[in-house]
Amino acid sequence: MAKTKKKKEILSYIFIVIGAVMASFSVALILLPNDAIDYGTAGVAIIISKLTGFSLSPCVLAVFIPFIVAGYVFLGRSFTFKAALGSIVYTIGLDFFENVPFELNTEHFLATTFGGAILGAGLSLILKSGGCIDGSEILANIIVKKLGDKTGRNYSMTPFLLLFNALVYLTVFFVIDVTAALLSLLVYIVATALIDHFTDHFEAVKQVTIITQDPDGIIYDIKNKLNKTCTIMDSRGAIAGNNNTLICYVSYFELPIMKEIISTHSGSFSTVSTIDEILR
């Protein structure tokens, strides 16, 4: 069991590296030469680079570092290590690919769509592996976590991500030019469509349903490690007999911790589903 877990963890790091290389390739060799930019904090770094004339990779690293530090403080060491790995590989990739002679001789619209698809595929690999290379996602996750801890409610990251990226594109619109803003918006639409498909709407609230004969131990761990509570229902299995069904709501980035909690309690299993809306 421990060996299998270690293999999965190693694979997750490999996928994060591959995803970050794909993302940096797309941005440096396809999107930027075709007047489009990445979204999120990478987009902020690109805007700074264009306005100041500074090299792109140091700008990306300078923008990412505060968010990575904040992630370590509020979201834990495991998540932050993967986020830092992805961000470092992405930054190195940008620096490397900026010096690679490559030209995609096609219309800006087609190149931007193709680049957005590669970017989305790379980011999907990173997110499914428990990583992250965008500070806006870290910021949204921290806000959601803080609001949840304060109010006891569960919030989606979608409004915060949309607001952040709307501000980025408005800045591009007014500071750079209209074409760059529209092409960048196309990148966002294509990339997020792929991410939503492969991660099942990572920004939405996730419902975890746990069937267990050790409810007290799991509830204790969930409260201790995630500061979350559960709904408890009595249930009965055809073979296992009496057990309990626990329902808990978490964010996408809290799922790895939840999986780890469940794996430490033998005889427990769970399902995860995406929640579009919670009515109160």
Cα distance between residue 207 and residue 95, in whole Å: 40
Task: Tell me the C-alpha distance between 164 and 173, whole Å.
Answer: 14
Domain locations in the chain?
2-199, 205-275
Strand partners, 250: 206
**Residue 240 pLDDT level (bands cut at 50, 70, 90):** low
Measured between alpha carbons, how far is 23 from 35 in angstroms, rounded to an integer?
16
Cα R_g (the chain), whole angstroms = 20
pLDDT tens-digit series, residues 39-97? 889 999 999 999 998 999 899 999 999 988 888 888 777 778 888 899 999 999 999 99
The per-residue pLDDT for range 158-178, each reduced to its tens digit, is 888 999 999 999 999 999 889
Sheet holding 269-275, edge to edge: 231-237, 241-250, 205-212, 269-275
Rounded distance between C-alpha atoms, residue 39 and residue 187, angstroms: 8
Question: Residue 171 and residue 167: Cα distance in Å, rounded?
Answer: 6
The per-residue pLDDT for 104 is 76
Q: What is the pTM assigned to this prediction?
A: 0.85
Distance CA 94, CA 251 (A): 30
The rounded distance, in Å, linking the Cα atoms of 93 and 266 is 42
Classify domain 205-275 at the CATH class level.
alpha beta
Per-residue pLDDT band at 131 (split at 50, 70, 90): confident
- How far apart, in whole angstroms, are the C-alpha atoms of residue 85 and residue 15? 11
